[in-house]
Amino acid sequence: MREIRLALVGFGNVGQAFARLLMEKQQELETEYGITPVVTGIMTGRHASCINPAGIDLEQALSFIAQGRPLTELDTFSFTGDTMEFIQVCPAEVMFETTPVNPISGQPALSHLRQALEHGMHVVTANKGPVVYGYHELKELAARQRLGFRFESAVMDGAPIFSLFRHPLRGARLLGFSGILNSCTNLLLDRMGQGETLDEAIAYGASIGITETDPSNDVDGWDASIKVAALATVLMDHPLTPVEVDREGIRGITREMIAEAEAAGERWKLVCKAYWQDGNFVARVRPERVGPESPLFSVGGTSSFVNFELDVLPGLGVLESNPSPKTTAFGMLADLIDIVAE
């Protein structure tokens, strides 16, 4: 049995879901893959940090977070430094990074991943920022260090998007893609179709934990744009930032517009696209009316969907229905298993 020591940078909804999944899958990981993951360090933004080389009791850590207690009570290392120092001193082989995304620069997550790789750790992130702003740098650094760099959960949670091209679709060339990549706006448009205003739909989304206090990243199309940029950068080898995506959010969509579309048998969706056209690369996020003939028509609630056009497959779609933090956590677990299997 091989013990794998893990460091968690970020311990919000996704980080906590990952901790629960590690406990849930412990027996399976040992039996099927011969590994015993042991979390030796947790770094948070609001609940301090803890390092214990012998392993942190995850049930206790989750309980402390629920009670609002600092994780320093679980620390045996007398650690008081910042995140960069945490990465340097935490005795771990794999770092999991789940801090909030920065769509403008990818920081500080980009620096966290760079530091971990330079310090000899494999890295797994659910953060889109460093994938967009540092993909080639981090990929080359990981290769030089003979380490893994994985990010399956960066787009469409735990759905196999990046690994699909890394393994089953080897030899295929991606010509373009289209889909619904922001599940939050998909839910908001659905609620508006039921008669709510955008503000009322946002309030509902906040009540179930789908939207943030400031929903502008979703509503104004920034989250969708950075996902388009991530897919274009990694899968089409066309480095792109969200600023370079032709972006329009859903703020201008009214209940009247939705009612008009429904009367015509159509629905509004925030559609993401990227493709080559006459030698130019087109990347776009904007609301569009789609009819029943479109695969996007029936994608409702917090579900998401992407359709790939390949040189050998004219259409290959991936649908993810109503994801949760556990779905994102699964993508991270799959990355861990992938790294161990290499």
Q: Is residue 192 part of a domain?
A: yes
- Does residue 19 sit in the same domain as residue 65? yes
The confidence band for 213, taking pLDDT boundaries of 50, 70 and 90, is low
Q: Is residue 42 part of a domain?
A: yes
Spatial separation of the C-alpha atoms in residues 109 and 127, rounded to whole Å: 7
Spatial separation of the C-alpha atoms in residues 78 and 91, rounded to whole Å: 14
Q: Which residues have CB under 8 Å from 256's CB, separation 6+?
A: none
Q: pLDDT value at position 212? A: 67
- Does residue 245 sit in the same domain as residue 190? yes
The confidence band for 25, taking pLDDT boundaries of 50, 70 and 90, is very high
Q: pLDDT value at position 330? A: 97
* Domain range enclosing 248: 174-320
Q: Per the structure, how many domains does the chain have?
A: 2
Residue 103 has pLDDT above 90, yes or no: no
Q: What percent of the chain has pLDDT over 70?
A: 99
Provide the 3-class DSSP secondary structure of residue 157: coil
- Does residue 99 sit in the same domain as residue 225? no
Q: Is residue 166 part of a domain?
A: no
pLDDT digits (tens, 9 = 90+) for 141-161: 999 999 999 999 999 998 999
- Does residue 300 sit in the same domain as residue 333? no
Spatial separation of the C-alpha atoms in residues 154 and 174, rounded to whole Å: 19
Q: Is residue 292 part of a domain?
A: yes
What CATH number is given to the structural domain containing 9? 3.40.50.720
- Does residue 150 sit in the same domain as residue 69? yes
Spatial separation of the C-alpha atoms in residues 35 and 39, rounded to whole Å: 13
Q: What order of strands is seen across the sheet that includes strand 49-51?
A: 49-51, 35-43, 2-9, 94-97, 122-125, 149-150
pLDDT digits (tens, 9 = 90+) for 46-99: 999 999 999 999 999 999 999 999 999 999 999 989 999 999 999 999 999 999
- Does residue 120 sit in the same domain as residue 228? no
Could you tell me how many residues make up the chain? 342
What CATH number is given to the structural domain containing 289? 3.30.360.10
Report whether 215 contacts 184 (CB < 8 A): yes
- Does residue 154 sit in the same domain as residue 203? no
Q: Is residue 230 part of a domain?
A: yes
Look up residue 197 and give its two tokens: 């205003």
Spatial separation of the C-alpha atoms in residues 317 and 186, rounded to whole Å: 17
Q: Is residue 54 part of a domain?
A: yes
202 exposure class (CB count in 10 Å sphere: 0-12, 13-18, 19+): buried
Q: Is residue 211 part of a domain?
A: yes
**Model-level pTM?**
0.94
The confidence band for 191, taking pLDDT boundaries of 50, 70 and 90, is very high
Provide the 3-class DSSP secondary structure of residue 102: coil
